[in-house]
Amino acid sequence: MEKVDCIIIGAGLAGLACGRTLTAAGRRVQILEAAAEPGGRVATDTVDGFRIDRGFQVYLDAYPEGRRFLDHGGLQLGCFEPGALIASGGRLRPVSDPWRRPVAAIRSVLTGAVGIADGLRTARLRSEMIRRVRQGRLDPAAAAPAEERTTRAALEARGFSADFIRLFFEPFFGGVFLERELATAETVFGFTFAMFSQGRACLPAGGMASIPTQLAASLPAGVVELGVPVTRLEQTDAGGGVVTLSDGRQLAAATIVLATDATAAAALLPAGLQDTWQPPAFKATTLVAFAADRQPACGRTLIVSAEPAAAGPIDNLTVPSAVASGYAPAGQSLVYASVRGDWQGPAADLSAAIQRQAAGWLGSEVKQWRQLASVSVSRALPVETPTVRRTRLRSGRIAPGLFLCGDHLTTSSINGALRAGRLVAEELLTP
C-alpha cells in the first residue's frame, strides 16, 4: 500500500481547492478522480470546433473564493452585458443595471419592463445585499438562520410587484437556481444577487473547464490522478481509511476527504456511517447548443424567458461566442438554449421548438441554426430550500480522519465549492 497524509476522492472544484490548501501547508496529498479530466460538474466538450459547456454556467468575477484561488487574467474572461433581455409575449424588453448602464436603465423604465417603484426596490436590494456581504453578514456557507425564508417570500415581503417577480426574478433567478418557484433560500439569493451586482458574469475563453484546469495545474505534479474511480471506502480503527480503486489497488491515509457530489458520497460512505447523513436531492437541467452563421442580435446580453412553458421550452438563451473568444470557430456563432424544467413537449421536438420560440424574438434566420449538441445534467445543483439548508452538516468531519466536502456543505456554486474545499482543509489542518 502506498501512503500519503491525505487522500481526496474527487477532483471537482471542492477537491482541488482542498488539495491546493493542504499542499500549500506542506501536506502530502493524493487526489483520485474517476473521470478523464479534473473539474467534475464544470466541464467543456469540443464539437466541430465549438466549446460546449456541460450545462450553461457563468463565472462571477466578484466571487471571493475565485479571487483567492484563480488567476482571472490567465482565464481570459469575457463578460456578459449587465442586466438581461426579458422575452414576454414574443417581444424582448431590456432590464438594465442603473449603476453600470444608466441610459439603458432609463430605457427599461420607458419600455415598461420596470416600474419606478420596482426599480427603487431593486436599487435598495442591491445596496443592502452588497453591504451585508462586505460586512460578512450574508454568507450562504454559514449556518442557515432558523427564520430563513424562500426567495419568493423575501421578495414579496420587500414589496416587489407580482408582475416584476414574474417578469424578472422568476426567469432570471429561475435560470440560476434551476427552479422557477423561487423556493431557494433567501440567503443564497441575496449573496448571488450581490455577486451579480458587484461584478460581471463571465466565460473563460477556453470554456468553463478552463477554471478547474487552471486550478489543477497549480497543484504539484502527480497530486491529481485521473481515470481512477474509487469503488470502496473503509474506515480504519486508527482513524482515516483505506480506499479501493476500480483497478484493484488499495491506498490508505490518516485522512480521507470525500469530495464527490452528495449522491456519490452517500453511496461511498462506509456502512457504519450511512445513517449519519442524508444527501440533498438534486435539480436537473438540459442545454441545447446551435451553430449560427450570423451572430444573433442579442449579442452579449442574456435573454430570459418570462413566457409560459406552453409558449416554448427556452429558459434562457445566450451567445457564448459573443461573450468570450474561443467558443466558436472564426466567422461562426455559438448559441446556447437552456431548457426549462416544466416544458411538457416531446423530446424529439425539442430542437425545433427552441428554434420556433427564438425565431419570434430574433427573426427567421434562427431557422437556419444547426444543432451541435444536447447535454442533460441530472445531478446539477443540490436543492437549497430553507428546510434542506437547516439540515446541512455544519462540519465536514463525519468520523475521525474522515471528511465530507463539496458544494452541498456550503452553497451550490463555483464559489461555494471552492469555499467548501478550503474550509475542510483548514478544519483538518487545525490541531
Ligand X SMILES: Cc1cc2nc3c(=O)[nH]c(=O)nc-3n(C[C@H](O)[C@H](O)[C@H](O)COP(=O)(O)OP(=O)(O)OC[C@H]3O[C@@H](n4cnc5c(N)ncnc54)[C@H](O)[C@@H]3O)c2cc1C
Q: Which residues bind ligand X (CB under 6 A)?
A: 9-15, 32-35, 40-42, 55, 57-58, 229-230, 259-261, 264, 268, 285, 377, 380-381, 406-407, 412-417
> Least distance from C-beta 171 to ligand X, angstroms?
15
Q: Which residue number, 44 or 412, has a Cβ lying nearer to ligand X? A: 412
Specify whether the CB–CB gap between 242 and 91 falls below 8 A. Answer: no
> Least distance from C-beta 9 to ligand X, angstroms?
5
| Cell representation of residue 87 | 422575452
Q: Which class for 347: exposed (0-12), middle (13-18), buried (19 or more C-beta within 10 A)?
A: exposed
Specify whether the CB–CB gap between 6 and 255 falls below 8 A. Answer: yes
> Least distance from C-beta 419 to ligand X, angstroms?
10
> Least distance from C-beta 342 to ligand X, angstroms?
17
Q: Which residue number, 177 or 290, has a Cβ lying nearer to ligand X? A: 177
CA distances from 227 to 36, 39, 250, 253 (A): 5, 13, 15, 20
Q: Which residue number, 366 or 417, has a Cβ lying nearer to ligand X? A: 417
Which residues are within 8 A (CB) of 387 and not within 5 positions of it... i.e. 6 or more apart? none
The Cα 289–Cα 337 span in angstroms is 6
Q: Which residue number, 38 or 94, has a Cβ lying nearer to ligand X? A: 38
Q: Which residue number, 108 or 255, has a Cβ lying nearer to ligand X? A: 255
The Cα 33–Cα 11 span in angstroms is 5
Place of cell 431557422: 367
> Least distance from C-beta 46 to ligand X, angstroms?
18
The Cα 108–Cα 65 span in angstroms is 33
The Cα 179–Cα 256 span in angstroms is 34
> Least distance from C-beta 66 to ligand X, angstroms?
9
CA distances from 336 to 48, 91, 300, 370 (A): 15, 19, 12, 12
Q: Which residue number, 298 or 409, has a Cβ lying nearer to ligand X? A: 409
Specify whether the CB–CB gap between 95 and 104 falls below 8 A. Answer: no
Give the count of alpha carbons within 13 A of 191, CB side only: 22
Helix (H) or strand (E) holding 223: none
> Least distance from C-beta 15 to ligand X, angstroms?
6
> Least distance from C-beta 229 to ligand X, angstroms?
4
Q: Which residue number, 42 or 402, has a Cβ lying nearer to ligand X? A: 42
> Least distance from C-beta 41 to ligand X, angstroms?
4
Q: Which residue number, 9 or 428, has a Cβ lying nearer to ligand X? A: 9
The Cα 99–Cα 110 span in angstroms is 17
> Least distance from C-beta 292 to ligand X, angstroms?
22
The Cα 119–Cα 160 span in angstroms is 9
The Cα 7–Cα 30 span in angstroms is 5
> Least distance from C-beta 189 to ligand X, angstroms?
14
Q: Which residue number, 53 or 148, has a Cβ lying nearer to ligand X? A: 53
Q: Which residue number, 105 or 224, has a Cβ lying nearer to ligand X? A: 224
Instruction: Indicate the residue type of 287.
Output: L
Give the burial string for 141-180 (b: 16+ CB within 10 Å, else e): beebeeebbbbbebbeeeebeeebbebbbbbbbbbbbbbb
Q: Which residue number, 113 or 208, has a Cβ lying nearer to ligand X? A: 208
